[in-house]
Each structure stands twice: as structure tokens, then as C-alpha cells.
Structure 1
Amino acid sequence: MSEHTIKATSRNVEGKGASRRLRHAASIPAIVYGGKAEPMPIQLEHEKIWLASQHEWFYASILDLDIDGKVEKVLLRDMQRHPYKQLIMHLDFQRVDAKQAIRVAVPLHFLNEDKSPAGKAADVVVTHELNEVQISCLPKDLPEFIEVDLADLTLGQTIHLSELKLPKGVEVPELKLGKEHDVAVVVARAGRVEIEETPAGEGESADVPAAKVEKDAE
């Protein structure tokens, strides 16, 4: 698990007006909650958070949230974006306990698809049914992503949740709910085969000119 530090500042003023002023000043209003401490309103620099938000680790890693010099371990739990502007409107962070398991959706990284028998075949379509998976683990065991090696993928093969190679200490809670929850992650299906057009005079006749059709209809 990599360490990523996010700097923040505590704030005393809350409400829509205060949040609006923060955004005008290129800052993001946010809240930190959970654990034994009270929820704490904070603010962060928009530019730095925007850059961080372009990376997977921002969404699926334990973050070191530095609030006025005091660091807390947190997870990003919610992000509100502007409907059409490149603006982050609000963030929710949850404190994590090193001894308590957490549930997090982590991205899947698909490897070696182009080297697999299915990936090399022109008439095979490889579909990624899932791009992330919900896992449970202690904070120290949280992976930034889970690799799915497709090197041996063949036509007609399906890779299910239960076949994922999980890091030590990591489990998929959904698998405990029954076999019907062991959903497909990757499927290799036969693609469409285009039918070649039959030349005129072989089989079906060629198109009849419109003028000819009108004359025959009279």
C-alpha cells in the first residue's frame, strides 16, 4: 500500500454561502467523519486535489490527510463534481481504524489480453464485465488495484469473481452471498461474422432499376 499525503486546513464557517466563497477562492469544502472523533469541516486547494483526482490511488487508497499539521488516515467516500465545469464541489473523507476491516471498491487492471489466444483472434470479442471490485480487508492490506492476467484466455472462456487472485488478507464479501453472486469479470465471445455479398447472377438477382419496377407495375 503506497502512502499519499493530502494537505488540508480546518475551517470554522459552514453553510452554502461559506462554501460558495471557498470555491470562488479556488478551494474545496470538505468533511472528515467517522471513528471516535467528531465530524470536522476542512478545506483543500482545488488545483492540487484536481490533479490527485486524475489518479486511481485517490479513490482506492488510504490517504494521509494532513489537517493543520496533524495527520489522519482516511478514505475518500464521496466526491461531488460540477455538472459541466471541471470543478470539484465537495469531498467526504472517512477516518479509518488500523484494526478494523474496511470495504472499498478497487479498480481491476487487465494484463496480457493482446497476447492471449482470444486477444489474437480476429473473430473473438473480449468483454470486461467489471472494471472494479468491492473488497474487504484491513487498511494495511488495501491494494490500489487488482491484476487480472488474461494471458491464457481462450474463446468461450469466462473468468468469474472467485477466480481473481487476491492479495493476502483481501476478500470479496459478495462471494459469501452464494454462487449466484460469483459474477463474470471477463468473457471471451465469438464476434460477428460478416456475410459476403453474392455477385449479381449468382444466386439472388441484381437490383432491378426503379424505372423497370414502375413499368411492370402499370
Structure 2
Amino acid sequence: MMKDIFTVEAQKRTDTGKGASRRLRHANLVPGVVYGAHKDPAMISMVQNQLIQRLEHEAFYSHILTLKVDGKSEQVILKDLQRHPSRPIIMHADFLRVSAKEKLKTNVPLHFVGEEAAKGVKEGGVVSHLLTDVEVSCLPGDLPEYISVDISGLGVGDAIMLSEVTLPKGVELPALMQDEVNDVQVVSIHAPHVESEEVADEEDEGAAEE
């Protein structure tokens, strides 16, 4: 059953343009495109409800998917997704073909573990997740569904930088391959802002008295 989550059924489409896309959505279909791997882009459509069901699973966004276009299978990743701003429908989906021998770049989620055991949390500190996902570069076979970040060793005032995240074998972070300036905080534990709130309350009271 889990395998089905990573399979997307699609059909080729020839109509293009806003009018064609609108007609597809009225028919409960999602317009999309698949490109890459030195092949021509292909215009496709998918059943709206089926795609939405798969998007409910976090792993779908960072997993190698099997895209079946008119019964012919290709290995892809979900590259871009356009949602309607106010309605629960998908407007468009982009898929990138992957080659087993070529590195790909995509975002994978960060899973933070050890929060309850962290010294800083036990001391009343507040955890700030400054990144929730990160772009990785790797071969398709090395693509992780997520990257774990252990914060159990953090105290109040401590942080984990992007360069300190433990990466799975074969996985690199493009942000760090270019320039160390791109090394940013991923997660930190800071003291609760109780004092600043009290000061703000006192200022509000003083303003009211005036």
C-alpha cells in the first residue's frame, strides 16, 4: 500500500494555455509537466483527488516517484506545486525526471529529535526551528526522505548551524558548497521573552495613566 503512495498515474495532453488548463480543472484533473534527463518536456494531466491523497504524505515530496504516463513508467521527483490560494485544489504540478547516474537537487524535510531531553528545554528554554527543510544534492539512490537533527545536547543560548547537521552518506548541501557565508542557524534554544513582555505591559500601563 505504501508503494502506491509513490506512484502517480497520468495521461499525456496536447491542449495548452489557460483555457485548456481551466477545462482540465473543471474535469477534476490537474495539468502538469514532466521534464529533464535530456528528454523533451511532456505535458500531462492527473486526477485531482488521487494527487491530493498522495500529497497528504510528507515522504511524497522528497521521494523518488514512479510517474506512469499512459502506462509507461518514469522515475521522477516532484519539483514544483501550485495550489489555489483559497480553494483546496492543485493548480499545476511539475515533475523532474531523474537518472540513476546524475545528481539531483531537491528539498527534504528536517526532523528534529531529542527536544524533550534537551537541557535548554528542561531549563524553560524555547525551541526555534529556523529551517524546516533544506536543499540537498545527491544521486537518486542516496536521496533521504528526511534528515534528522538531534537537539538533545543544546542548552539555553545554543544553536545548531547548517554545517553541523549530520548528513546521510552521499548527500551534500549546495548552500555550503559555494560559500561559508551561507552557513545559517537551523535550530536554537533561547530564553522565554518573559521580561520583555513585562516591560511592554508596564509601558502600556504608563501610557494609559498619561
What secondary structure does 1:21 align onto? helix
What TM-score, normalized to structure 2?
0.86
Query: Residues 30-179 of structure 1: matches in 2 within 5 Å?
Result: 30-122=32-124, 124-179=125-180
DSSP-derived class of the 1:51 partner? helix
* Residue 22 of structure 1: how far off its partner (Å): 1.1
Tell me how far 1:64 sits from its aligned partner. 0.6
Q: Secondary structure at the match of 1:113?
A: coil
- 2:110 partner amino acid: L
Moved more, 141-150 or 9-18: 9-18
How far residue 6 of structure 1 moved from its aligned partner, in angstroms, is 0.9
CA distance in 1, matches of 2:99, 2:168: 20
1:9 Cα deviation after fit:
1.3
**CA distance in 2 between partners of 1:111 and 1:95 (Å):** 32
Q: Distance in 2 between matches of 1:53 and 1:132?
A: 16
The residue type equivalent to 2:189 in the other structure is A
Q: Secondary structure of 1:38's match?
A: strand
User: What is the SS of the residue equivalent to 1:114?
Assistant: coil
Give yes or no for the alignment of 1:187 onto 2:177: no
TM-fit CA distance, 1:191:
1.9
- Secondary structure of 2:21's counterpart equals helix
Structure possessing the higher radius of gyration over alpha carbons: 1
Superposed CA deviations along residues 170-193 of structure 1, whole A, max 9, x for unmatched, are 011211233322211111122234
Distance of 2:180 and 2:93 partners within structure 1: 36
Percent of matched pairs sharing the same residue: 47
Match of 1:102, as an amino acid? Answer: L
Aligned length: 197
**Distance in 2 between the 1:177 and 1:35 partners?**
24
> TM-score, normalising length from structure 1?
0.83
Unaligned runs of 5+ in 1: 198-206, 211-218
The whole-number CA distance in structure 1 between the counterparts of 2:142 and 2:193 is: 43
Cα distance in 2 for partners of 1:189, 1:151 equals 14
Contact 2:79 2:106 in 1 (8 A): no
TM-superposed deviation, 1:51: 1.4
